[in-house]
Structure 1
């Protein structure tokens, strides 16, 4: 197929979440035809699964500027820029209207199960540059093959939560105990969910914003329901900067969340267990017993809430050539800028098509999936990513490389402390991501209260 013929093909965007829909808008702005394929039944399907959680970013920070312009032409009214939406509000008041404006360019119930170069597996070099991509799609009507000039994977990581096991794999007995384990922040407004946790002993595993959100919610439940108690399991050896930067956080709601979580722990309904790396989940008469790598065993708990982060599902990209960082599973050029073993400030160098490009021409991982296993992704990062990629696909290299983005600092320095031995120089401002560091080469111009995707 000639280059001219490929120009008439759509750019397929996988996922109708915040970044996927923004990608479609930016592609249209560049004169390209997008086709958004969404496995769910409506826009923001993953966002709707944490509908009860409030973002720590304001409306002003979670609406893409180009999407706002498109919506404004239909009479859409921007929500209060200084208010903080819940997942449900984000989906209903922004994502759904945006999908409706895009119309037939968004297809629901279309699950992408594979992407390849037409007629060639990943091994074949010959003719690779001249052939379009084939997107394999599963629908209720059967299988389809869609030819595409490019594919933007904005499918996110929500569907692939990390397990409880401390080595990245499910702990022994974790699958068997699935009935007592949840992998998202409980919606305690739901009567059935509330009844599941009220008056129970609950283990919460994790140290990110989702875990802090769960701690706050469960401690509030404990205040109303006697007998409710939380065992907070931290893999790191000490609490350290787990609660974040507080008043120094440039996202005030994010800082406030950390302060509320700290207060919740101090209220007495939480027992903090540090250095606990789960290796086994054992069924007991009165619940489940968790065992750590060092042999410690907790008293039986009724429920376990696992909030240990997410990882990308790369299985359906097996036939395209990707160059990913071996640690984070993020784009190799992006990984050093977001590595949680180094960065905890939340400040990420502006990046776009240059950092996101893959060896497979026309294939880009964008949005939360571009971060691989790294946390602290912000929606505004994804919006700038897809603006840059869309410009590049349209041949506007100058616009693609003019990446300008200033992200809010968390106010925490010295690396994320993912293990037990933080850099001792960080506290003195001499290391980590906030102090002086070696120059980093960049080629550009520069969720739930914890899920901001």
Structure 2
């Protein structure tokens, strides 16, 4: 709630991505002045980093209603609601126009380095809630500035802090030294320089989510081309392969998401990639020829690869919020009230209970983590979840508790979430979801699902 010391101050929104810009649109709708601070050189800088990847949500699901109202007077119309945008489409055809409408309410090249209460570190209780927030920023030219705010909405996401290859959550031994052969993003194989890096080479893909599916499918497509002959994938999974490994298939209410998992399965079935299960990476060693060998915690060493793509998820950067009193779950690093609702051990994105300002609140009043950052290390986030989050949060900041508490959201069920989709495809994918491996922790093994019929090796069974 506003006090005399915060009257007239803006609400600072950290991050000019889809959720941060939506928050600004809702703030304007409520008559609250927003100030969006974006570390990158343009709005939606993180989205532009994966501009080549297609979402598995349609245009109908990735445009915020308040943002659309703000854009409507300019003549903007939503692209075909039934089509799937790429990251580049999303940025160019929606996020950038929205940022332009917001004008000087969006500052790019402005990195937030710290947030606190004015004159109060995290220890001090006296008059804490009545003091404005002070936001320290560093501009692209190195200039520092303090900005005072009535509230802070952190929508900075997790893109800048990918998780490492190491099975313990720490970088594997040698991971940093091998940085020239490792990427933590889905590579853009339409870029000639990037394509040349992977064409005809053996690449390990570490991860089991939608991003790993995308990388495997893209490598398989490369292997089918003339310049990509000999391209091979080595899929590294910390767990076993089961019927749910590849998502919901045709049962997925987000069809592109289901098709994505099946495309990854096809990459293995067709022999373009081998799968290694039960492998928790402990070290990455460089051979004399410069290639990389992955070593597991149990001491097993895989044959060397040319490149490694690490897609093990993301984690929130909480360092610049260190002087705030946040209530975070000790496992997920998500708001404590939200964490049980998004625990990936129990939920996919479609089973997450609708939530708003109450689940997103902290002991520090009027500060909220929203969007992907609110999910901490949980990989099950969808854009429409974030849009409903900021609608509720902004209603709470405006004092409209009834609206803030009225959280309604229907999410698609089944499958995995948290990554981007592959591509639009008119073909009906194979729905064979034969389980490979059992429900127990598997022994580490190389599984080649796509071998010819006479040599096909599957290890189906139970505990």
Structure 1-normalised TM-score? 0.90
Equivalent residue for 2:39?
A: 39
Structure 1 segment 297-376 matched on structure 2, within 5 A: 297-344=301-348, 346-376=350-380
What is the DSSP-based 3-state SS (H/G/I as helix, E as strand, rest coil) of the residue aligned with 2:350? coil
Is 1:381 aligned to residue 381 of structure 2? no
**How far, CA to CA, are the matches of 2:294 and 2:320 in structure 1?**
34
Structure 1 segment 186-265 matched on structure 2, within 5 A: 186-224=187-225, 225-265=228-268
1:146 CA drift (Å): 0.6
What is the DSSP-based 3-state SS (H/G/I as helix, E as strand, rest coil) of the residue aligned with 1:13? strand
Structure 1 segment 101-180 matched on structure 2, within 5 A: 101-139=101-139, 140=141, 142-180=143-181
What is the DSSP-based 3-state SS (H/G/I as helix, E as strand, rest coil) of the residue aligned with 2:6? helix
**What runs of 5+ residues in structure 1 fail to find an aligned partner?**
413-419, 424-453
1:410 CA drift (Å): 1.6
Number of positions where the alignment pairs a residue of Structure 1 with one of Structure 2: 416
Do the aligned residues in 2 keep the contact of 1:16 with 1:44 (CA within 8 Å)?
yes
1:411 CA drift (Å): 5.0
1:2 CA drift (Å): 8.0
**How far, CA to CA, are the matches of 1:110 and 1:391 in structure 2?**
27
1:78 CA drift (Å): 1.0
**How far, CA to CA, are the matches of 1:3 and 1:333 in structure 2?**
26
Do the aligned residues in 1 keep the contact of 2:206 with 2:235 (CA within 8 Å)?
yes
Equivalent residue for 1:291?
A: 295
Change (3 A) 1:125 1:234: same
1:85 CA drift (Å): 0.3
What is the DSSP-based 3-state SS (H/G/I as helix, E as strand, rest coil) of the residue aligned with 2:351? coil
What is the DSSP-based 3-state SS (H/G/I as helix, E as strand, rest coil) of the residue aligned with 1:328? coil
Change (3 A) 1:57 1:77: same
Equivalent residue for 1:14?
A: 14
What is the DSSP-based 3-state SS (H/G/I as helix, E as strand, rest coil) of the residue aligned with 1:232? strand
Write the deviation string for residues 367-386 of structure 1: whole angstroms up to 9, x where unpaired. Answer: 00000000020000000000
1:422 CA drift (Å): 6.7
**How far, CA to CA, are the matches of 1:315 and 1:359 in structure 2?**
17
Structure 1 segment 427-438 matched on structure 2, within 5 A: none
Any runs of at least 4 consecutive aligned residues in structure 1 with deviations exceeding 3 A, and if so which?
Answer: 420-423
Is 1:279 aligned to residue 282 of structure 2? yes
Instruction: Indicate the larger mover: 169-178 or 261-270.
Output: 261-270
**How far, CA to CA, are the matches of 2:335 and 2:184 in structure 1?**
26
1:21 CA drift (Å): 0.2
What is the DSSP-based 3-state SS (H/G/I as helix, E as strand, rest coil) of the residue aligned with 2:171? coil
**How far, CA to CA, are the matches of 2:346 and 2:440 in structure 1?**
10
Write the deviation string for residues 303-353 of structure 1: whole angstroms up to 9, x where unpaired. Answer: 000000000000000000001000000000000011011123632100000
Structure 2-normalised TM-score? 0.88
What is the DSSP-based 3-state SS (H/G/I as helix, E as strand, rest coil) of the residue aligned with 1:173? coil
Do the aligned residues in 1 keep the contact of 2:5 with 2:131 (CA within 8 Å)?
no
Write the deviation string for residues 96-121 of structure 1: whole angstroms up to 9, x where unpaired. Answer: 00000001110111100000011111
1:238 CA drift (Å): 2.9
**How far, CA to CA, are the matches of 1:396 and 1:210 in structure 2?**
39
**How far, CA to CA, are the matches of 1:104 and 1:290 in structure 2?**
49
**How far, CA to CA, are the matches of 1:240 and 1:364 in structure 2?**
38
**How far, CA to CA, are the matches of 2:363 and 2:74 in structure 1?**
40
1:90 CA drift (Å): 0.3
Instruction: Indicate the larger mover: 236-245 or 78-87.
Output: 236-245
Change (3 A) 1:303 1:250: same
Change (3 A) 1:411 1:278: closer
Equivalent residue for 1:27?
A: 27
**What runs of 5+ residues in structure 2 fail to find an aligned partner?**
417-437, 442-463
Instruction: Indicate the larger mover: 361-370 or 258-267.
Output: 258-267
Do the aligned residues in 2 keep the contact of 1:239 with 1:274 (CA within 8 Å)?
no
Do the aligned residues in 2 keep the contact of 1:11 with 1:35 (CA within 8 Å)?
yes
What is the DSSP-based 3-state SS (H/G/I as helix, E as strand, rest coil) of the residue aligned with 2:271? helix
Instruction: Indicate the larger mover: 355-364 or 402-411.
Output: 402-411
Is 1:268 aligned to residue 271 of structure 2? yes
**How far, CA to CA, are the matches of 2:266 and 2:2 in structure 1?**
63
